[in-house]
Structure 1
Amino acid sequence: MYVLIGGAGMMGLGLAQQLLKLGHTVAIIDVDPLACRFAREKIGVMAFEGSAVSTTVLLEAGIRQANAVVAALRDDALNLAMIALSRSYGISHTVVRMRDREFLEAYRFAQASHIISTVDLAVATMANAIEYPEIESMMHFEQGQVEVLKLPVPGDCYVAGRSVAQIAQDPRFPSSSLIIGYQCHACADLQIPNGSTVLEAGSTILVVTRPELVHPMIDFLGLHASHLPTIEVSHPNL
């Protein structure tokens, strides 16, 4: 897939690096020559210096051949213009980074296929970290009607050493919940467990449940905030 990204900031460059690892062909457009040079020399993607809302630059970057366009510019008005131009060139798969929610309806009117609010994502992640410190990560689906939780299985956890079938048959296990993923250690591949899968101490599980059952699930597992490791996050100097 050929992906064209507008904006060589931290998000644009980080996304380009990730897409490259996934095997996609990636090009970035940015007005900053140093950012374009970094993209070429350090990340290894094509970079075009100029405005991402210039038809000349977009054509030079091969927008007619693009399978997807990402608008990750520093200004919502510019992102909106890039999405509109991309649609005019027949690009149906468009992803936009939204900074100000007041642009939501405008992005929808421009037919952006995916609108990603970085502020909303950050706020939701921080709120989850405060409300549910026992959970390593948490994702919302279907407007928050379904939650997917990544949970540790420490040695003193109630489910450690038990099979998925035994856990599901326990009357205290929250109803309408499923264990859908199992990772025996941090470097192992994620597995889809079956009834005979035994959850070992030190492993990690993925659980699907409803929002109102998150706390009951944590209580059932016997988790405490002290079980979670300290996670250090480093950011490259982009």
Structure 2
Amino acid sequence: MYIVIAGGGIAGSSLAAELVNRKHDVVVVDRDREACEDVYAETGAVAVHGSATDVAVLKQAGIEKADVAIGAMYRDTDNLTFALLARSFGVPRLIVKMRDPAYTEAYRVAGVDAVCNMIEMFRHRVVAEIENPHIRVLTRLEGADAQLVMFAFPENRGSVRIRDLAQLPAFRQNCVFAGILRPGERTIVMPRGDDEVPPGATVFAVVTPGHLGAISAFLGEGTGPGDGA
């Protein structure tokens, strides 16, 4: 895909490197000439020097043929302007990094397809790490009160079938098992009822946020909300 990224800072350059590694055609636009030179040297992505809110610069970056446009600049005002311009050029998919939640509605009106709310992501990750340090939240499911999480099945418990695990109080409600990565293996198994979860296996599950405390209690690790020492 042809992807234009507005902003060659830490977020934009690291994203460019990942997308180039995945064989996408990437162009990064930044008003800082040194940042452009660094992006090209470190990622191999094409770098265009100039403002991503300037129509002429965007045309130079090939915005008219872009499949995806990504706003990764520091200020929401710049990302919003970039998104509006990209949409006017007919870019089919717009993604932005949002710092200030006050811009949520503005991005929606601008037709942005996906908004990465940095403050919300930070808040949820920190709270999860404090209350349930041995459960890793991988992502929140957009439009649903649910999260994809992973955790290590305790070494001090014997192997258990998925169907039996699902009947335990900690997993009986608001939890769907999505995958099992057994020790020493590299392939995630999509679990069925008779599949076994051995000690030390990594388990992937979709759960509601309020259910993490119950899973932590089962694991014998972490401190769910309200569990004082």
Q: How far is 1:89 from its partner?
A: 0.3
What corresponds to 1:36 in structure 2? 36
Moved over 6 A (4+): none
TM-score, with length taken from structure 2: 0.88
- Could you tell me whether the CA contact under 8 Å between 1:28 and 1:47 is conserved in 2? yes
Deviation at 1:194, TM superposition (A): 1.9
Aligned to 1:229: none
Matched, 1:205 2:203: yes
**SS in structure 1 at match of 2:56:** helix
Aligned partners of 1:85 and 1:55: how far apart in 2? Answer: 7
Structure 1 position 218, deviation (Å): 2.6
Q: Deviations over 1:52-98 (max 9, x none)?
A: 11111111111111000001111111111100100110113001111
Coordinate RMSD, CA, aligned: 2.1
The total of aligned residue pairs comes to: 223
* Paired position in structure 1 for 2:215: 217
Gaps of 5+ in 2: 224-229
TM, length-normalised to structure 1: 0.85
The corresponding residue for 2:149 is 149
Distance apart, 1:104 and its partner CA: 1.8
Counterpart for residue 193 of structure 2: 195
Summarize the Cα distance change of 1:35–1:185 in structure 2 as closer, same or farther, 3 Å threshold: farther
Structure 2 residue aligned with 1:78: 78
**In percent, how many aligned pairs have the same letter?**
27
Q: Which amino acid aligns with 1:39?
A: V
Residue 197 (structure 1) shift:
2.2
After TM superposition, the structure 1 = structure 2 runs for residues 168-187 of structure 1, keeping only pairs within 5 Å, are 168-170=166-168, 173-185=171-183
Change (3 A) 1:25 1:189: farther
Determine if contact 2:131/2:222 at 8 Å carries over to the other structure: no
CA distance in 2, matches of 1:172, 1:70: 40
